[in-house]
Chains A and B, each alone.
Chain A
Amino acid sequence: MTGVAEKKRKKSASIIPGFGLTLGFTVLYLSLLVLIPLSATFFKAAHLTWPQLREIFTDRQVLLAFRLSFVSAAEAALVNVFFGLLVAWVLVRYRFPGRGLLDSMVDLPFALPTAVAGIALTEIYASTGWVGSILDRFGIQVAYTPLGITVALIFIGLPFVVRTLQPVIEDLDHEVEEAAASLGASRWQTFSKVIFPALLPPLFTGGSLAFARVLGEYGSVIFISGNMPMKTEIVPLIIVSKLEQYDYAGATAVASAMLVLSFTLLLSINLLQKWVGSRAPIR
């Protein structure tokens, strides 16, 4: 086994075996399950003609779905940035009974199957539900409106901002805050001029991560959205309904657009994170 594992490249001193075996298996498994299926989709999309593409991407229903997905994801990301900062700050900086429990709860949206979140949120926000009935009195409808979609996406996106911010707040240097205070800054000045600027990069990456991840969300949204064409239809739903009508070309085109979009988004976030990490303002 060591024979195969012998490395030609630098760090040749490595005597640890298994390089060929593990790398070979990794590349094979990755190619078979992820890379080949993904590229097959792009190949299929490449077979579409220009008129076909134009027809798909000028379809009002498709365009409205893209707009709805973007706007809802952006709204949800903004709410999550605000409350995510508050929750992360409270969890890291303050000590109070039940803190550990609260910290674990933040991961609930990761752990809870999306379909369950979907039907539970629908029940709460329907006009007969616990929250929906109260809002109904003020003429606010949540379930089966775009607002409902945003609520579901807020739920799903919560952990991304909190978990991105927590380690950064933990690493903030107390001495800098003490220095600011000793130079006469009030606590608010210290926060707004010293702490907040340091948290801006992770807030941005956390927010964009929450945005990118909820863009493709399906399970938690389709129940609360009501799926009315042109009104509460998100992009993933467009893909599913095209598939159900055996419109494979349409589904492929919309899916490829989504793939390109989310790859670009996540790649930029990755680069941003690296760039921010290398010049972290306060450490």
Chain B
Amino acid sequence: MGGKQGAHSMNSGRESNTNKNAVTEPRWFQWLLIAIAVGYLAFLLLLPLASVFVNAFQKGVQAYFHSFADADTLFSIRLTLLIAAIAVPLNLTFGVAASWAIAKFDFRGKNLLTTLIDLPFAVSPVVAGLIYVLLFGKQGWLGPWLDAHDIKLIFAVPGIVLATIFVTFPMVARELIPLMQEQGNQEEEAAITLGASGWQTFWRVTLPNIKWGVVYGVILTNARAMGEFGAVSVVSGHIRGMTTTLPLQVEILYNEYNFVSAFSASSLLCFLAFLTLIVKAIVERRMKKERTFEG
């Protein structure tokens, strides 16, 4: 080693061996590090996944599919889809509005607003559930009023929706704000100057530019919305067939030692995770490609 001769031959064309060795690791060392990284990730990430499927199929394919015949499990799947169908569009609308305001305009308190939008990420999921219980629960600020008007938010579906919105709150905005800032305002200004309305400008100019960011934000929001456990657990009350989402159903089945069913239900959530990662990888590739085309 020691690149003493290399000092005189900096031109990449006639780089000496010593020099090359000094700016990368030796080949055997590279392979050693690669092996450690692959082994570590396989151990940490793949083993749990494998365990889910092995446990789900431990009593055969029939037992696997049979566990989805359970009415409570079926209900929990439907509820999870419903929650995501409400929470994701709401947070998408918010994310687009927030990033439009923050990326396209300058105003006082912009940094504060950006920080506040990120707040929910700093809150433990359990606390995220608790704050709604303290607000809308029987002992909460609005509890007596809601009770008097026969409105039930906590230990009911609306509470689950609220908690889900909270934990996925910043996701879309976080993706879109830097993207929109990068795009700048010129294209929109041109469209407006040429007589386009605000909506036309948004749909025909802005949206095509940020579409991959939108897909990215939605897919992440959806994964978390369908998979959230802590926050939902606090507000749900675990009423079977009424307020149990799929992750909560997994917990119930597992605690009842009904392992095949618990892991079968988990396998669905694993498929959701795979789908999320695949779409994410595709979107990242597209974004990279578009960026290299532009500049």
Residues on A facing B (Cβ under 8 Å): 1-2, 5, 7, 9-11, 14-19, 21-23, 25-27, 29-30, 33-38, 40-41, 44, 83, 86-87, 89-91, 93-94, 96, 98, 100, 102, 104-117, 119-121, 123-124, 129-131, 154-155, 158, 174, 177-178, 180-187, 190, 212-213, 215-219, 223, 235-236, 239-240, 243, 246, 248, 251-252, 255, 258-259, 262-263, 265-267, 270
Q: Which residues in B have their C-beta under 8 angstroms from that of A216?
A: 123-127
Cβ of A9 and Cβ of B107 under 8 Å apart?
A: yes
The verdict on A111 contacting B124 (CB below 8 Å), with A15-B193, A104-B277, A243-B130 known, is: no
Interface string of B1-44 (1 = CB under 8 A from A): 11110110010000000010111111000100110111011001
Cβ of B116 and Cβ of A96 under 8 Å apart?
A: no
Give Cα A182 to B93, complex, Å.
55
Cβ of A22 and Cβ of B101 under 8 Å apart?
A: yes
Cβ of A86 and Cβ of B36 under 8 Å apart?
A: yes
Q: Which residues in B have their C-beta under 8 angstroms from that of A124?
A: 47-48, 51
Interface string of B266-294 (1 = CB under 8 A from A): 10011011001110110000000000000
Cβ of A111 and Cβ of B277 under 8 Å apart?
A: yes
Cβ of A155 and Cβ of B229 under 8 Å apart?
A: no
Cβ of A112 and Cβ of B105 under 8 Å apart?
A: no
* Contact stretch, chosen from B63-71, B144-152, B162-170, B207-215: B162-170
Q: Which residues in B have their C-beta under 8 angstroms from that of A217?
A: 124-125, 230
A1 CB contact (under 8 Å) in B130, B185, B198? B198
CB distance from B47 to the nearest CB of A (A): 6
CB distance from A104 to the nearest CB of B (A): 5
Residues on B facing A (Cβ under 8 Å): 1-4, 6-7, 10, 19, 21-26, 30, 33-34, 36-38, 40-41, 44-49, 51-52, 55, 93-94, 97-98, 100-102, 104-108, 113, 115-127, 130-135, 139, 141, 162, 165-166, 169, 185, 188-189, 192-193, 197-198, 201-202, 220, 223, 226-230, 233-234, 247-248, 250-251, 254, 262-263, 266, 269-270, 272-273, 276-278, 280-281
CB distance from B154 to the nearest CB of A (A): 11
The verdict on A248 contacting B131 (CB below 8 Å), with A86-B40, A105-B277, A216-B124 known, is: no
Give Cα A239 to B131, complex, Å.
12
Cβ of A119 and Cβ of B3 under 8 Å apart?
A: no
Q: Which residues in A have their C-beta under 8 angstroms from that of B46?
A: 105
B37 CB contact (under 8 Å) in A19, A102, A104, A212? A102
How many residue pairs, one in A and one in B, have C-beta atoms under 8 Å apart? Answer: 308
Q: Which residues in B have their C-beta under 8 angstroms from that of A184?
A: 2-4, 7
Closest to B3 in A: A181
Query: 8 additional contacts, CB 8 Å, given A10-B106, A119-B254, A243-B133?
Result: A16-B198, A19-B104, A22-B100, A98-B38, A119-B263, A183-B7, A255-B127, A258-B127
Cβ of A263 and Cβ of B34 under 8 Å apart?
A: no
Cβ of B33 and Cβ of A94 under 8 Å apart?
A: yes
